[in-house]
Amino acid sequence: MSESAPSAAETRRLAQEARDRIRFEEEALGLSDQVYRVARRLAGSREEAEDLVQQTYERAFRSWRQYTPGTNLRAWLLRILTNLNIDRGRRQQRTPQTTSIDNEAGDYFLYNKLESQVPDENPDEERVLERLSQDSIVDALADVPHDFRDVIVLVDIGEFSYADAAQILDIPIGTVMSRLHRGRRILKKNLADKAAV
Amino acid sequence: MLDDCDRCEEMMQPFLDGTLSDEEVALAQRHLDKCSWCAKRYHFEERLRHYVRVAVSEPMPPELKAKLAALRTPL
């Protein structure tokens, strides 16, 4: 027998590893729609989002052994994607934390503003919501400063928990909550500004 | 009622996020049951979150899906 022939145990180990790897790749690919949906709003353009997702999967497939089975794979993939996004230097044009909101408005502000634009007396909520076009929502979100937008995209669009968002962005959970609170207000302010008059 | 409505406005985000204590939820709920002005704004906020999520969701281009599938380890 040649000395390079693997032992039976080694053969079994390699076969198991191949199966684990295939399972990992299948699971990761099954999440690609959700990963793209989040990436599209974290990145500035469609092209950038596509590059990011592709690089994320390249890296994930290379380092699949670092993933702990049974943990949140979607969050693991998004963590890679967020790091790649930072590596691309998009953080260099980081917006200062102290973005000021004119007249720091309360949470009813958007509704009050939109309702006043509807001609009917006491309109229902759907009629009020119709004041917002799809384009105006996309633009309003894009105009939210990065630090706040990342959290909104992960929690409100990607439906990640605060804990997952904290892990993905490598920030404390309290920061996730405060940025989310503030970010939603900025988003609503932007929506109010863009609502059709 | 104004103070109650202000308090209710402050509780809206955490209420919809499910991060209020049971006591606070009961407090907000009691107010919402009798104040249609606030109830309307809570309902709007809930719809808005859903509306935003749908409005900004863009399906993945099929070419990208194919590129990702090609990254798999060949069998």
pLDDT tens, B18-38? Answer: 999 999 999 999 999 999 999
Q: Could you tell me which of A117, A61, A66, A100 has the C-alpha nearest to residue A186?
A: A100
Buried b (16+ CB within 10 A) or exposed e, A114-136: bbeeeeeeebebeebbebbeeeb
pLDDT of residue A46: 93
CA A165, A179, B42, A130 dihedral sign is negative
Q: Which segments of chain B have a pLDDT < 50?
A: none
Chain B residues in contact with A109 (beta carbon < 8 A): none
> Is any Cβ of chain B less than 8 angstroms from the Cβ of A117?
no
Q: Are B43 and A125 in contact (CB under 8 A)?
A: yes
The amino acid that residue A190 corresponds to is N
pLDDT tens, A6-40? Answer: 889 999 999 999 999 999 999 999 999 999 999 99
pLDDT of residue B47: 94
Q: What is the DSSP letter of A158?
A: S
Distance CA B59, CA B43 (A): 28
* Phi/psi-derived region of residue B18, left when phi > 0, alpha when psi is between -120 and 50, beta in every other case: left
pLDDT tens, A137-150? Answer: 999 999 999 999 99
Distance CA A81, CA A99 (A): 25
pTM for the whole thing? 0.86
> Is any Cβ of chain B less than 8 angstroms from the Cβ of A52?
no
Distance CA A157, CA A149 (A): 10
Contact map slice: A 7-46 vs B, CB within 8 A:
18, 21-22, 25, 29, 32-33, 36-37, 40-41, 46
Task: Tell me the three-class secondary structure of A42-111, residue by residue.
Answer: HCCCHHHHHHHHHHHHHHHHHCHHHCCCCCCHHHHHHHHHHHHHHHCCHHHHCCCCCCCCCCCCCCCHHH
pLDDT tens, A53-80? Answer: 999 999 999 999 999 999 999 999 999 9
> Is any Cβ of chain B less than 8 angstroms from the Cβ of A59?
no
pLDDT at A93 exceeding the cut of 60: no
> Is any Cβ of chain B less than 8 angstroms from the Cβ of A121?
no
Model confidence at A92, pLDDT cuts 50, 70, 90, reads very low
Average pLDDT over residues A73-99: 76
Distance CA A33, CA A47 (A): 16
The amino acid that residue A100 corresponds to is S
Q: Could you tell me which of A142, A44, A164 has the C-alpha nearest to residue A52?
A: A44
Distance CA A19, CA A52 (A): 27
ipTM attached to this prediction: 0.87
CA-based nearest distance B49→chain A, Å: 7
Distance CA A53, CA A61 (A): 12
pLDDT of residue A100: 55
Chain A residues in contact with B75 (beta carbon < 8 A): 22
Among the partner residues A36, A41, A46, nearest to B56 by beta-carbon distance: A41
> Is any Cβ of chain B less than 8 angstroms from the Cβ of A156?
yes
Share of chain A above pLDDT 70, in %: 89
